[in-house]
Amino acid sequence: MQDDSIFDFDELNEECGVFGIVGHPDAARLTYYGLHALQHRGQESAGIVTTNGEKFHVHRDMGLVNEVFSSERVSQLIGSTAIGHVRYSTTGSSVLANVQPLVFNYAKGEIAIATNGNLVNGDKLRKELEANGSIFQTTTDTEVIAHLIARSSADTLEVAVKETLNELVGAYALLILTNDQLFVAQDPHALRPLAIGKLGDSYVFASETCAFDTIGAAFIREIEPGELLVLTQNDGMRVTRFSEPKETSICSFEYIYFARPDSDISGINVHTARKRLGRQLSKEAFVEADVITGVPDSSTSAAIGFAEATGIPYELGLIKNRYVGRTFIQPSQELREQGVKMKLSAVRKVVEGKRVVMIDDSIVRGTTSRRIVNLLREAGAKEVHVRISSPPVKNPCFYGIDTADRDQLIASNHSVEEIRQLINADSLAFLSAEGMVEAIGRPSEEKNRGHCLACFTSEYPTKLYEALEVEESV
């Protein structure tokens, strides 16, 4: 299962999770449980905004969902419509002011916005707004969106929202709440997942379907690229569009790493997809070995798939301490050198004298991989063969994943053989992009079967801008 990167060896910073529900007497509490199911998508902060049709009730703070919300806090969030957010900072630094949903007053009343994704033209829009006298209290794209809506001269909020969405370029799965309406939007490429469910008569929305399972809601469908849903408590859900859909480009890392294994994306279960990634990897890069082990928790499914396909036994060669929390005392360099290790242990009896295949989902900077390979060697592994269930990450992501700059991406500057040496592996192989797309098995007829592969191939689905283009051209 996905785990929290702040506690973890994992090198990919996760993004955000959004949740919304319309017309349920327990709106806040269900949002709490929904956010809890999405906790793996962001552990930095959490927030819920509810409306009882007259005014907002808001609680937001830094921390995990169950740290931010007490039972008392949740019960103060009255009203039958709610939106919520868990956040791992993508744009915006880790400060309280940035905690979503953001809440604003504008000429027509209160408005709250929660987004998942990242705008490519966020800085550009921000500069334009500032040049026209706007002030900003956060560093989030979400505040840019609020300004655009407020500055619209459109007669209705719905038109203002549509105008605004057409100015945005990038990834956004978006919830906009007022005291009488909830708007739900998906960018024209559907770069981030967003699903529609139903719980009794109430519509619910979530970044992942596991949130529906947690609250007992039924999955209806995914929101389509360019769609804008308009919900009111009385009139149900009306489906409109603000844009023609462009080629669907769901982030591949949702399958590879981000999403919970029990979520489905476009009808494909994530655990099952990962097992197929492992199988495919075993076909593309088989190696004789005694033991298969996965880097917990995100690579467990791929490791099982690899093991099943090859008949090599799957073992718990690496164990993660479940109790590593935010406030943990880091070992000093000296203690580290003496062998103190807090998060991950290699299991000597499992790997000693063995040829080990270590399955991981990705290599970003390479430092973690080397550390894990060395853990296995210190525990007596005779050989360590690293197999990665995705292609080399060569290009930065501008849509919400904090993969680091290009020059920090080990695969951007090094051949596979060079990486192998750097991480001290006996052999190393990545999955091919084609193999990955094939293994995930999306039914789409679109290019790349509806995947965004930009970080692997540099084919970005949207236009890029200024600084980014410059960076891109380097």
| Residues 150 to 209 in contact with its own copies, rule: CB under 8 A | 150-152, 199-200
- Nearest residue (CB) to its own copies, 149 versus 397: 149
SS3 at position 297:
coil
| 16 included as an active-site residue | yes
Q: Which two tokens stand for residue 416?
A: 């596979």
The footprint of its own copies on residues 287-306 (CB under 8 A) is: 297, 300-301, 304
- Nearest residue (CB) to its own copies, 244 versus 339: 339
Residue 278's DSSP bridge partners are none
Among the candidate windows 27-35, 229-237, 394-402, 441-449, which touches its own copies by CB under 8 A? 27-35
- Nearest residue (CB) to its own copies, 316 versus 433: 316
| Count of residues of this chain found to bind its own copies when the rule CB under 8 A is applied | 96
Shortest reach from residue 3's CB to its own copies, in Å: 6
Residue 13's DSSP bridge partners are 402
Shortest reach from residue 454's CB to its own copies, in Å: 28
Q: What is the largest CA-CA distance in the chain?
A: 73
The footprint of its own copies on residues 7-26 (CB under 8 A) is: 26
SS3 at position 51:
strand
Answer for the pair 12, 401: CB distance below 8 angstroms, yes or no.
yes
The footprint of its own copies on residues 417-446 (CB under 8 A) is: none
Pick one of 146, 168, 204, 359: the residue that binds its own copies (CB under 8 A).
146
Q: Which two tokens stand for residue 223?
A: 């929101």
Q: Residue 203, exposed/middle/buried by CB under 10 A (0-12, 13-18, 19+)?
A: buried
Question: Which residues, including other chains, have CB under 8 Å from residue 95's CB and lie 6 or more apart?
Answer: none
CA distances from 138 to 8, 30, 134, 398 (A): 27, 28, 12, 19
- Give the x/- contact pattern for its own copies in 101-140, rule: CB under 8 A: -xxxxxx---x---------------x--xx-xxxxx-x-
Shortest reach from residue 335's CB to its own copies, in Å: 6
The answer to the question of residue 467 lying near its own copies (CB under 8 A) is: no
- Nearest residue (CB) to its own copies, 350 versus 455: 350
Residue 219's DSSP bridge partners are 197
| Catalytic annotation, pick one of 16, 251, 397, 452 | 16
- Nearest residue (CB) to its own copies, 36 versus 451: 36
Shortest reach from residue 290's CB to its own copies, in Å: 13
Exposure b/e, 249-284, CB count within 10 A at least 16 = b: bbbbbbbbbbbbbebbbbebbbbebbbbbbbbbbeb
Shortest reach from residue 99's CB to its own copies, in Å: 10
Answer for the pair 258, 459: CB distance below 8 angstroms, yes or no.
no
- Nearest residue (CB) to its own copies, 329 versus 474: 329
**Annotated catalytic sites, by residue?**
16
